[in-house]
């Protein structure tokens, strides 16, 4: 998604230098699946390990964005779940107030709705069915489909673009940090990079408190390839073509050995080959 092309209207619009997706630290349900049967999903808290993970993530992110910049700023968006709020609080300890442009709780960044309380046996069955049926289309009994998460994440991204267009982030060294969940972060990437449902199904979620860095290139494209190597991108489930596309977005067609287009869908192989008589009426 090229925000330069979308937002170019003759005005001096500053685009955020980076968009950083952060998955919350380890929570009690990650450590013990039985928690889902006694505590509402949105009230599940971090473990002591998760708290320490979040603190270390804050240190690593600050080092990354401040290493070569003197005027850097951060703006935080956070899911309303207790575990994401606590993750942000721990991350925030690494950032002086003067560097923080703002914090906004964003309900559309919440986790997939699994319904209400569940016993461990039903959760295991649901997760197995999601894999075989397809995580995008599968509806959790009493909850959401992945497609519905995609729709609300898409709506959030449109609002993010509006905030950028309205010059909410005037500092050229702005870093947007989004603290969210495993599925929501994958849906963000799917929407942002126009990935197909098939490509989404092959993605793997980040580890707890892991983060993904989308950095702006000179051509107005954000890319994962600036800060993450091929091994890490493969670990997250990107195919070789998707990895090459990230490099294309980062460095442009002349920066790497690129022989294709950057915005193609693998299932669109139905068109006829070019020919001299292509305008002939059949």
Is 113 a known ligand-binding residue?
Answer: no
Choosing from 111, 144, 173, 244, which is the catalytic residue? 111
Instruction: Note if 198 is an active site residue.
Output: no
**Which helix or strand (DSSP H or E) is residue 180 part of?**
strand 174-180
Round to whole Å and give the CA distance between 25 and 88. 10
Is 27 a known ligand-binding residue?
Answer: yes
Per-residue pLDDT at 218: 81
Q: Is the dihedral of CA 177, 178, 183, 186 positive or negative?
A: negative
Tokens of 54: 């979040």
Tokens of 127: 């997760």
Is 279 a known ligand-binding residue?
Answer: no
Instruction: Note if 111 is an active site residue.
Output: yes
Is 30 a known ligand-binding residue?
Answer: yes
Per-residue pLDDT at 281: 54
Residue 236 is given by DSSP the state T
Q: What is the mean pLDDT of each run of 10 residues along the chain (282 residues)?
A: 51 80 97 91 97 98 93 96 98 97 96 87 86 96 96 97 84 92 98 97 98 92 96 98 94 55 61 66 53
Per-residue pLDDT at 185: 98
**Which helix or strand (DSSP H or E) is residue 181 part of?**
none
Choosing from 24, 118, 181, 228, which is the catalytic residue? 24
Tell me the whole-structure pTM to 2 decimals. Answer: 0.89
Is 66 a known ligand-binding residue?
Answer: no
């Amino acid at each position: 998604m090229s925000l330069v092309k979308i937002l170019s209207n003759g005005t001096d619009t500053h685009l955020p230098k980076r968009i950083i997706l952060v998955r919350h630290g380890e929570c009690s349900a990650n450590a013990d699946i039985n928690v889902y049967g006694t505590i509402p999903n949105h009230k599940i808290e971090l473990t002591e390990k998760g708290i320490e993970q979040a603190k270390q993530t804050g240190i690593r992110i600050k080092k990354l964005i401040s290493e070569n910049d003197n005027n850097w700023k951060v703006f935080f968006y956070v899911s309303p779940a207790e575990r994401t709020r606590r993750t942000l609080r721990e991350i925030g300890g690494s950032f002086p107030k003067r560097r923080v442009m703002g914090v906004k709780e964003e309900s559309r960044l919440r986790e997939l709705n699994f319904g209400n309380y569940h016993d461990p046996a039903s959760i295991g069955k649901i997760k197995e069915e999601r894999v075989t049926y397809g995580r995008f289309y599968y509806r959790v009994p009493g909850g959401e489909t992945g497609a519905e998460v995609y729709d609300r994440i898409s709506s959030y991204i449109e609002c993010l673009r509006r905030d950028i267009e309205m010059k909410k982030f005037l500092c050229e060294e702005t870093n947007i940090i989004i603290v969210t969940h495993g599925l929501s972060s994958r849906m963000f990437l799917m929407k942002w990079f126009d990935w197909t449902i098939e490509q989404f199904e092959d993605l793997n979620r980040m580890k707890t408190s892991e983060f993904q860095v989308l950095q702006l290139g000179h051509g107005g494209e954000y890319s994962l390839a600036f800060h993450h190597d091929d091994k890490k991108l493969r670990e997250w489930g990107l195919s070789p073509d998707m990895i090459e596309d990230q490099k294309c977005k980062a460095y442009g067609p002349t920066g790497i050995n690129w022989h294709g287009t950057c915005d193609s869908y693998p299932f669109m192989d139905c068109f006829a080959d070019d020919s001299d008589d292509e305008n002939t009426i059949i």
